[in-house]
Structure 1
Amino acid sequence: MIRRWPKAPALPSWVFDLAPVGLAGLDTWLNARHNTPYELGAAAVATLALLLRRYFPLTVLAITLPSLVISQSVVPALIALYTVGFRYRNRWLLTGCAAAVALGYATPWPPMLEVSHDDALLGLIYATMTAAAPVFLGMLTRTGQELSARIDEIERAREQERRLIEQTTLSRERTQLAREMHDVVSHQVSLIAVSAGALQVGAPDAGTKEAASTIRELSVKTLDELRHMVTLLRASGSQPTELTPQPTLAELDRLVTTSGIPVERDGELPGDLGAPQQRAIYRTVQEALTNARKHAPGARVTIHIGHTAAEVEVTVVNGRPVLPTLSLPSARHGLVGLRERAELLGGTFEAGPTPGGGYRVRLRLPLAAD
């Protein structure tokens, strides 16, 4: 299980909006004695512009650049640059914004005609490092939030998978118990009832007939109770719940729609498929979509359905992952169960990676299987 540090209490959003403004205002106030009124005005405009940094990060960064050049107030531009690094992924855009801040930081004010090469080089190095820090910090913060969201999603998926496994195991045990009660216990009780009836008819005395009649009545009542229990067990073992949708093709469109990933589907299934074939196809598509969401986030999934007079084929292919993935342990029980289900129906099941870095699942079932 993934262990994480406990989350700190969430602060109101206005705290994160006003804290940078207060920090920039403090920077302006500390440099007030070194700035002219014109420079103070530019610094104040840059500071107030930070209130809109969440909505117009690039515009706010452009507003802070004049203050960065003409005054000693550096904090507003660095905060605006951090917001740009957090909001955008384009490396060329981030490089250009960082270069603009570095150039504004390295430009002397008022302009100096004579600057030694060593001083200019040192100033450029310091300016580059100063501008790169907020960009990388913004990217790091964004990556941390995305990673935290992915971990939460994985934990929810694993918890749901665990509950599905528990329900599947319970359903299998109930079905097996119902089968044993029907095939073994009910058969033996039926033999007892038949034998008791024969004894009742051919008994030589009234006491034996009465005992045989009692045994027969009890056997019949027991058979009725057994049939009732078998019905309940099978119903509770196969009744759909909110975690296990009814495994029929009638729910296949809903499964695809609610999968949360982009899916393309082509082809149609024959209309005379039996319940076992429908369940096998449904479970195959369900498992393939679940694996694509866990192991190939952001990838597009294609479902191809085809059939001939002899067999039906369902192929599910996902592309390579688009978003960052996490390495997760997997026992591949789902694929093993799908292969066993296909073999029981006389079909075949194949699963494996594609040359492009994706994954393919293919199910073939004979139409004559029942």
Structure 2
Amino acid sequence: MNRVRPLLVDAGLIAVAAIDAGLGRAEPLAFGAALVALGTLLLRRRWPVFVFAVTLPALAISGSVIATLIALYSVALLRSSRGLLVGCGVLATAGYLFPGLDLRFEETDVLTVIYAVITPAAPIFLGRLVHTQRELTLRLDEIRQAREHERILDAQAVLAKERTQLAREMHDVVSHQVSLIAVQAGALSVSTADPAAKATAENVRRLSVDTLDELRHMVNLLRASGSSTTELMPQPTLSDLDRLIAGSGIETRRTGTAPDGIDTAVQRTIYRTIQEALTNVRKHAPGSTATVDIAHDGADLTVTVSNTAATRPTLALPSARHGLLGLRERAALLGGTVVTGADPDGGFRLRLRLPIAGQRSSVDS
């Protein structure tokens, strides 16, 4: 469409210029000059000055002015030299007056001269006006882009400040409390003689240490203000599932396996989904058992985490209720879904479905 429109415009202008030249009733010399002038109008966007010069003979011989005015407009639109524009205007005026050089400066002759000056001046001013409008549009676009860039920088500065403040709070409050939990769990594992209590205390200590390690990387990421060179490491993969299940503090059975070579983003989403599901089981269904089932049919991969009904009273724990929402957002980014619901026996089920057809691990690539 962008290429067709200029051709249609040129065709319309040439048609108007041909009517003005009167090709059907022109003398041979005037006909040839007009024909050459009309043909060169197709080149006015590339060589406007040349096209203008070619149209002058037709103007002087037959008085066909439209082709010259079109070429003159193109010169004014594409060239900014004042001397060139003045010279082209003078030539157009002379060409317009050429058939009547026997001027006697009578009243009608003065009007003819005035008209001959005004006629080429009009396309020159119009061309300069359109040229200025285009330049102003470009300048306004540049100003708009500069303001948008400034707005983005301001937003990034505010975000960096908020991230720094959040990192400071996480370091000063959360890490301090988790460190106390780790220390007290370690002391309990050393002082108690009960094997079950010792194992539980050691598990709490190890989970606290892992939490501190992830928290440290999270703080580094926040302090880096989202720099592209800073990554939240280590990124969990499916190879970490056994350790996650073993450290969940829940009697969990795992069935099925994922196919080899799936993308690391998919692996990370599966890991975080199972992690969040087991966390919810531990919080909302104490004493229950869980099952993690991984299945795939070549096109989709399904992860189902189900648990039985709670056998012990639940404890009131703080929750922002953002866990399942975050899982659905993670799945949606990969074209998948997360479905949750209660089972008839009082248990709960979470099912993640992700498309894996055609995916390859970013590590392999």
TM-score by length of structure 2 reads: 0.52
Q: Identify the residue that residue 283 of structure 2 maps to in structure 1.
A: none
1:52: how far off? 2.1
Q: String of CA shifts for 1:186-235, please: whole Å, max 9, x gaps.
A: 123324544565677778xx79x987995685355234313303313533
Q: In structure 2, how many angstroms separate the alpha carbons of the residues matched to 1:200 and 1:80?
A: 94
Q: Identify the residue that residue 121 of structure 2 maps to in structure 1.
A: 132
Query: Which amino acid in the other structure matches residue 189 of structure 1?
Result: V
Q: In structure 1, how many angstroms separate the alpha carbons of the residues matched to 2:34 and 2:217?
A: 79
Paired residue secondary structure (1:12): helix
1:86: how far off? 0.9
1:59: how far off? 1.7
Q: In structure 2, how many angstroms separate the alpha carbons of the residues matched to 1:225 and 1:176?
A: 20
Q: String of CA shifts for 1:291-315, please: whole Å, max 9, x gaps.
A: xxxxxxxxxxxxxxxxxxxxxxxxx
Q: Identify the residue that residue 151 of structure 1 maps to in structure 2.
A: 140
Whether 1:16 aligns to 2:4 is no
Q: String of CA shifts for 1:329-349, please: whole Å, max 9, x gaps.
A: xxxxxxxxxxxxxxxxxxxxx
Whether 1:53 aligns to 2:44 is yes
Aligned with residue 57 of structure 2, among 51, 66, 70: 66
Conserved? CA contact 2:48–2:75, under 8 Å? yes
Structure of greater Rg? 2
Aligned with residue 165 of structure 2, among 168, 176, 185: 176
Q: 1:163 to 1:79 in 2, by over 3 A?
A: same
Paired residue secondary structure (1:149): helix
Q: In structure 2, how many angstroms separate the alpha carbons of the residues matched to 1:136 and 1:20?
A: 19
Q: In structure 2, how many angstroms separate the alpha carbons of the residues matched to 1:230 and 1:197?
A: 20
Query: Which amino acid in the other structure matches residue 44 of structure 2?
Result: R
TM-score by length of structure 1 reads: 0.52
Q: String of CA shifts for 1:230-249, please: whole Å, max 9, x gaps.
A: 313533644534xxx99xxx
Q: 1:72 to 1:162 in 2, by over 3 A?
A: same
Aligned with residue 123 of structure 1, among 106, 112, 135: 112
Conserved? CA contact 1:197–1:213, under 8 Å? no
Moved more, 78-87 or 164-173: 164-173
Q: Identify the residue that residue 99 of structure 1 maps to in structure 2.
A: 90
Q: In structure 1, how many angstroms separate the alpha carbons of the residues matched to 2:82 and 2:29?
A: 35
Counterparts of 1:203-242 in structure 2, within 5 Å, are 218=204, 221-235=207-221, 237-241=224-228
1:89: how far off? 0.6
Conserved? CA contact 2:30–2:62, under 8 Å? yes
1:37: how far off? 3.3
Counterparts of 1:32-51 in structure 2, within 5 Å, are 33=25, 35-51=26-42
Conserved? CA contact 1:192–1:216, under 8 Å? no
Whether 1:26 aligns to 2:13 is no
Q: In structure 2, how many angstroms separate the alpha carbons of the residues matched to 1:223 and 1:177?
A: 21
1:67: how far off? 1.7
Q: 1:38 to 1:10 in 2, by over 3 A?
A: closer
Conserved? CA contact 2:181–2:208, under 8 Å? no
Aligned with residue 80 of structure 1, among 59, 71, 74: 71
1:150: how far off? 3.1
Q: String of CA shifts for 1:23-69, please: whole Å, max 9, x gaps.
A: 2112123x754x53332332222222212222222122112112212
Conserved? CA contact 1:83–1:138, under 8 Å? yes
Q: In structure 2, how many angstroms separate the alpha carbons of the residues matched to 1:226 and 1:170?
A: 24
Q: 1:192 to 1:56 in 2, by over 3 A?
A: closer
Query: Which amino acid in the other structure matches residue 96 of structure 2?
Result: Y
Q: Which runs of 5+ in 2 are unaligned?
A: 231-365
Q: String of CA shifts for 1:134-158, please: whole Å, max 9, x gaps.
A: 1111112222222333333444444
Q: 1:18 to 1:211 in 2, by over 3 A?
A: same
Q: In structure 1, how many angstroms separate the alpha carbons of the residues matched to 2:190 and 2:46?
A: 94
Identity %, equivalent residues: 43
Conserved? CA contact 2:163–2:225, under 8 Å? no
1:79: how far off? 0.7
Paired residue secondary structure (2:84): helix
Aligned with residue 130 of structure 2, among 103, 117, 141: 141
1:97: how far off? 0.7
Q: String of CA shifts for 1:276-301, please: whole Å, max 9, x gaps.
A: xxxxxxxxxxxxxxxxxxxxxxxxxx
